[in-house]
């Protein structure tokens, strides 16, 4: 029994030796009050200036990539032509079909109508001694609001008592009839080809006293027709019958029609879409018109966002003061 107890004691001592830890507790662990990583103060201190620098870099990048005109000073400084008016963008009410050219008749106290009247005044003041009787309205590229401005300008002139006619000279892409929402059986092509006399092709505008010489069918040789002697005689006849003539011309860059028509006009009103028309396109168009010795009265910046335009030009705080003078 003694030997059995000694063996049992030896086994117990061997087991205790194996399970005995080789570490000891120095102090008890404490629960931390804040995370050790990441360091919030350092991260915030670095992220704020880094975000500001990145934001400024992106802003300058977008500014450089945006190649349009935003302010009158940019336009006049780069192109060298006076800006007669800035025509605001017109929003479509509740998704219903809406014609912006009707605003000068339906809402004469609106900012849009006031801008069109500013264009009319600018044309008068551009040459007081020799006021323009035939005005050519053109632009660099399509979809800049050229036809809408031409119709509005003709209606404003007619409302002031002038006997006015609007001639759609865009024989390739007739847009006056589409803008007015009307259909015409005779057009300027019939006059130029000898199919009908000028008097039979003039149509009275439904919403004003303006007479319209529309363009309906597209001929095969629009450039030849516009540069013909018949076109010159037609404009001469219109000069005798009317006080103010508006020629709605095709854009300058795609075709040469605008340069041909500029010889028949007393002055040119150049249309530039605000913030959209590329600067190089505007400069190239102005150079092309100057090459044919066209007299450019000035520029109309169209489809401008009123709030953003006032912010770029005069400061955002002034926009509400301007709105007090307009009903729409």
pLDDT of residue 316: 45
Rounded to whole angstroms, the Cα distance separating 149 from 38 reads 61
**Count of the separate structural domains present in the chain:** 1
Backbone angles phi and psi of 66, in degrees to 5: -80, 115
Domain span including residue 211: 69-323
Query: What is the residue whose two structure tokens read 């005995």?
Result: 20
Establish if 52 belongs to a structural domain. Answer: no
Query: What is the residue whose two structure tokens read 């990441």?
Result: 38
Whichever domain contains 81, its CATH number is 3.40.50.300
For the chain (length 328 residues), average pLDDT per consecutive 10?
Answer: 81 63 77 77 82 84 73 90 90 67 89 92 89 94 92 94 94 83 84 91 91 86 92 95 95 94 96 92 95 95 77 52 57
Establish if 246 belongs to a structural domain. Answer: yes
pLDDT of residue 83: 93
Rounded to whole angstroms, the Cα distance separating 208 from 235 reads 22
According to DSSP, the β-strands at 211-213 and 203-204 are: antiparallel
Establish if 3 belongs to a structural domain. Answer: no
Q: What is the tens place of the pLDDT at every residue in 165-196?
A: 999 999 988 888 778 877 788 889 999 999 89
CA 325 from chain centre, in angstroms, equals 23
Establish if 263 belongs to a structural domain. Answer: yes
Establish if 29 belongs to a structural domain. Answer: no
pLDDT of residue 322: 56
Establish if 58 belongs to a structural domain. Answer: no
Establish if 304 belongs to a structural domain. Answer: yes
How far CA 205 is from CA of 151, 179, 180, in Å, comes to: 10, 12, 9
Establish if 41 belongs to a structural domain. Answer: no
* Assigned token pair, 187: 């057009």
Rounded to whole angstroms, the Cα distance separating 60 from 66 reads 10
């Amino acid at each position: 029994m003694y030997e059995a107890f000694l063996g049992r004691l030896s086994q117990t001592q061997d087991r205790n030796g194996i399970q005995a830890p080789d570490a000891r507790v120095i102090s008890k662990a404490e629960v931390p009050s804040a995370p050790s990583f990441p360091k919030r103060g350092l991260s915030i201190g670095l992220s704020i200036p880094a975000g500001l620098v990145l934001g400024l870099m992106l802003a300058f990048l977008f500014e450089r990539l945006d190649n349009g005109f935003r302010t009158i000073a940019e336009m006049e400084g780069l192109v060298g032509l006076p800006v007669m008016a800035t025509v605001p963008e017109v929003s479509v009410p509740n998704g219903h079909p809406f014609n912006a050219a009707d605003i000068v008749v339906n809402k004469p106290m609106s900012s849009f109508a006031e801008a069109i009247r500013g264009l009319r005044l600018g044309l008068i003041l551009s040459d007081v001694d020799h006021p323009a009787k035939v005005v050519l309205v053109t632009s660099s590229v399509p979809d800049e609001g050229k036809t809408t401005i031409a119709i509005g300008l003709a209606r404003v002139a007619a409302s002031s008592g002038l006997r006015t006619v609007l001639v759609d000279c865009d024989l390739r892409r007739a847009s006056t009839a589409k803008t007015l929402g009307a259909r015409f059986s005779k057009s300027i092509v019939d006059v130029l080809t000898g199919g009908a006399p000028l008097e039979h092709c003039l149509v009275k505008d439904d919403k004003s006293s303006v007479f319209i010489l529309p363009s309906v069918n597209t001929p095969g040789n629009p450039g030849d027709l516009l540069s013909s002697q018949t076109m010159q005689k037609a404009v001469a006849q219109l000069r005798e019958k009317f006080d103010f003539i508006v020629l709605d011309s095709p854009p300058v860059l795609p075709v040469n029609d605008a340069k041909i028509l500029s010889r028949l006009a007393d002055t040119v009103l150049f249309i530039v879409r605000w913030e959209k028309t590329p600067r190089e396109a505007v400069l190239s168009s102005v150079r092309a018109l100057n090459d044919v010795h066209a007299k450019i009265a000035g520029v109309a910046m169209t489809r401008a966002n009123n709030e953003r335009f006032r912010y770029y030009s005069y400061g955002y705080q002034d926009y509400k003061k301007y709105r007090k003078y307009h009903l729409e």
